[in-house]
């Protein structure tokens, strides 16, 4: 990692690095690179100021409605769609429909209708799917369709 076995932490050696010394060294390197200490740089930089303001401001009602976030991923056998659903008592009113290439979840959240459509990363089967809601997350498990038909095409030579 360091050239010729030299470490900036000479007194402790490689095996016994002190976290306080590492933090102090990183702060020193950042200060040398930026001309000031890193916390001071964050306070004066416009990007960090805006990010801090956005983080601390409350969400509007439109942003809260859009807090239903979906996540799609696949395993070897399944394609899984997850939707954060903070009101599990209304989960019975949710309808899930899917095609071999997409999944649509519709329902009511905070008194307003919503529709979440997710494109699936693989083709799924028409049978064997199930949906469960646990800990505020609606999870739809779809079985992958692996028996895709293969068609052979003749190649013709035109010379």
Query: Do both 71 and 131 map to the same domain?
Result: yes
- Helix, strand, coil shares of the chain, percent, nearest 5, are 30, 30, 40
The pTM (predicted TM-score) of the whole model is 0.52
User: Tell me, what CATH number does 119's domain have?
Assistant: 2.60.40.790
Using CA atoms, how far apart are residues 125 and 133, in angstroms rounded to an integer? 21
Q: Which domain holds residue 25?
A: 3-55
Query: Do both 73 and 50 map to the same domain?
Result: no
Query: How many domains is the chain partitioned into structurally?
Result: 2
Query: Do both 35 and 74 map to the same domain?
Result: no
150 domain residue, yes or no: no
Query: Do both 98 and 29 map to the same domain?
Result: no
Using CA atoms, how far apart are residues 135 and 107, in angstroms rounded to an integer? 18
Query: Do both 40 and 108 map to the same domain?
Result: no
For residues 119 and 148, which has the higher predicted lDDT (pLDDT)?
119
158 domain residue, yes or no: no
Using CA atoms, how far apart are residues 120 and 72, in angstroms rounded to an integer? 7
Q: Does residue 17 surpass a pLDDT of 70? A: no
Confidence bin at 7 (pLDDT 50/70/90): low
54 three-class SS: helix
28 domain residue, yes or no: yes
44 domain residue, yes or no: yes
90-112: pLDDT as tens digits: 777 889 999 999 999 998 877 78
Contact 137, 122 (CB under 8 A): no
Task: For residues 19-48, give the mean pLDDT.
Answer: 74
Query: Do both 73 and 104 map to the same domain?
Result: yes
């Amino acid at each position: 990692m360091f050239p010729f076995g030299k470490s900036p932490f000479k007194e402790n050696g490689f095996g016994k690095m002190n976290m306080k010394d590492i933090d102090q060294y990183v702060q020193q390197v950042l200060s040398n690179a930026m001309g000031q200490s890193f916390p001071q740089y964050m306070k004066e930089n416009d990007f960090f100021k805006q990010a801090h303001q956005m983080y601390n401001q409350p969400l509007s009602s439109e942003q809260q409605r859009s807090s239903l976030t979906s996540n799609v991923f696949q395993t070897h056998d399944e394609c899984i769609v997850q939707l954060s659903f903070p009101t599990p008592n209304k989960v019975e009113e949710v309808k899930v429909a899917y095609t071999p290439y997409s999944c649509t979840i519709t329902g009511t959240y905070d008194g307003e209708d919503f529709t979440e459509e997710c494109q699936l990363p693989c083709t799924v089967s028409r049978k064997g799917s199930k949906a469960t809601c646990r800990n505020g997350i609606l999870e739809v498990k779809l079985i992958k369709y692996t028996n895709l038909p293969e068609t052979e095409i003749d190649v013709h030579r035109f010379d």
